[in-house]
């Protein structure tokens, strides 16, 4: 069987637009190093409206933003201000700690507009968890792009066959975006269990099939090893392929990810200090141009990646 596990995301309403969250889930916390997978929209905003994610912190992870439609403006405590457009990649390595915001640019709000994006977090290997935070932006023209059997492929991060993305990563991983034409296909080679690589396919739109079996929209299909995979789709169908080597146990609490639960407890205290008086914080720093931030949630629960995985029934 090509599919080892099917994950139906939780749907969240973030004040006028929907977000589908596939990872983490009680049935599965991670796929390879991927520990958070959000699908935003497509969301249509009336004039004057847009996304307003206030400044918030991260530790011990990297965030990856990829847009299909629309625009977002990234600001962070490193002093970076960067707009991202469809087909581009923003990669932010949080390392020992960073604060950032994501908002719709002013020009995006002058008329009705649409946002459609994937927001993903990647856990860092233990020896990179506490590195200095960094940010990189990659135009669409810098990413490997090719067409095979009618399917347009973009390698967002990692390696696939002879292609390597320029996006700096810290562990073996794969992140592909695929756009199908009518009856086009894309082949994923078989991977043996000994290679210890996890892979999954996410259906961004309707019209995706795995080895001839339809995949419902917004489903994440974790692939079984030892089997070659044929992805196919109707015209304009989209999917994403993610995967890589597992990194071991990780704990996620709110916006924090770490191999050490004690490190998350420290980050919680650090953020409470920051929100009380930023001048007293030694680990988190303000974002230029921002005057507000998201407080530490009172009822958030920690999720561990060693949660038992429920097999496909």
For the stretch 187-197, pLDDT in tens is 999 998 889 99
Q: Is the pLDDT of residue 210 over 50?
A: yes
Report the pLDDT averaged over residues 7-30. Answer: 88
Q: Is the pLDDT of residue 14 over 60?
A: yes
Report the pLDDT averaged over residues 66-70. Answer: 98
Q: Is the pLDDT of residue 1 over 80?
A: no
CB distance 131 to 70 below 8 Å = no
Residue 144's alpha-carbon distances to 66, 105, 141, 154, 162, in angstroms, are 14, 27, 8, 6, 10
Report the pLDDT averaged over residues 86-102. Answer: 98
Which of the listed CATH numbers 2.30.110.10, 2.60.120.10, 3.90.1010.10, 1.20.950.20 matches domain 3-244? 2.60.120.10
Share of the chain above pLDDT 70, in %: 97
Report the pLDDT averaged over residues 25-37. Answer: 95
- Would the pTM of this model clear 0.85, i.e. be above it? yes
pLDDT of the residue at 312: 44
pLDDT of the residue at 15: 63
Q: Is the pLDDT of residue 313 over 50?
A: no
């Amino acid at each position: 069987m090509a599919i080892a596990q099917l994950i139906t995301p939780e749907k969240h309403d973030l004040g006028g637009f929907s977000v589908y969250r596939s990872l983490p889930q009680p049935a599965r916390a991670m796929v390879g190093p991927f520990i958070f997978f959000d699908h935003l929209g497509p969301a249509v905003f009336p004039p004057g409206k847009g996304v307003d994610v206030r400044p918030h912190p991260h530790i011990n992870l990297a965030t990856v933003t990829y847009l299909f439609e629309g625009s977002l403006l990234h600001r962070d405590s490193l002093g970076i201000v960067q707009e991202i457009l469809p087909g581009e990649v923003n990669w932010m390595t949080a390392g020992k700690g960073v604060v950032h915001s994501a908002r719709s640019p002013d020009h995006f709000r002058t008329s009705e507009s649409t946002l459609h994006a994937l927001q993903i977090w990647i856990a860092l290997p233990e020896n990179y968890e506490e590195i200095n935070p960094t940010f990189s932006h990659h135009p669409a023209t810098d990413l490997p792009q090719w067409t095979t059997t009618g399917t347009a492929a973009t390698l967002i991060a990692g390696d696939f066959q002879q292609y390597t993305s320029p996006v700096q990563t810290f562990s073996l991983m794969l992140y592909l975006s695929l756009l199908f034409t009518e009856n086009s296909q894309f082949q994923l080679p078989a991977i043996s269990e000994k290679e210890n690589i996890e892979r999954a396919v996410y259906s961004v739109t309707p019209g995706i099939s795995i080895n001839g079996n339809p995949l419902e929209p917004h489903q994440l299909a974790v692939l079984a090893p030892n089997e070659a995979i044929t992805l196919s789709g109707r015209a304009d169908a989209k999917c994403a392929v993610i995967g890589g080597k597992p990194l071991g146990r990780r704990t996620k609490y709110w916006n924090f990810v770490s191999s050490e639960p004690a490190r998350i407890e420290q980050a919680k205290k650090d953020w409470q200090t920051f929100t009380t008086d930023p001048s007293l914080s030694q680990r988190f720093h303000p974002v230029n141009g921002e005057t507000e931030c998201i407080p530490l949630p009172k009822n958030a629960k920690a999720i561990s990646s060693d949660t038992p995985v429920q097999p496909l029934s």
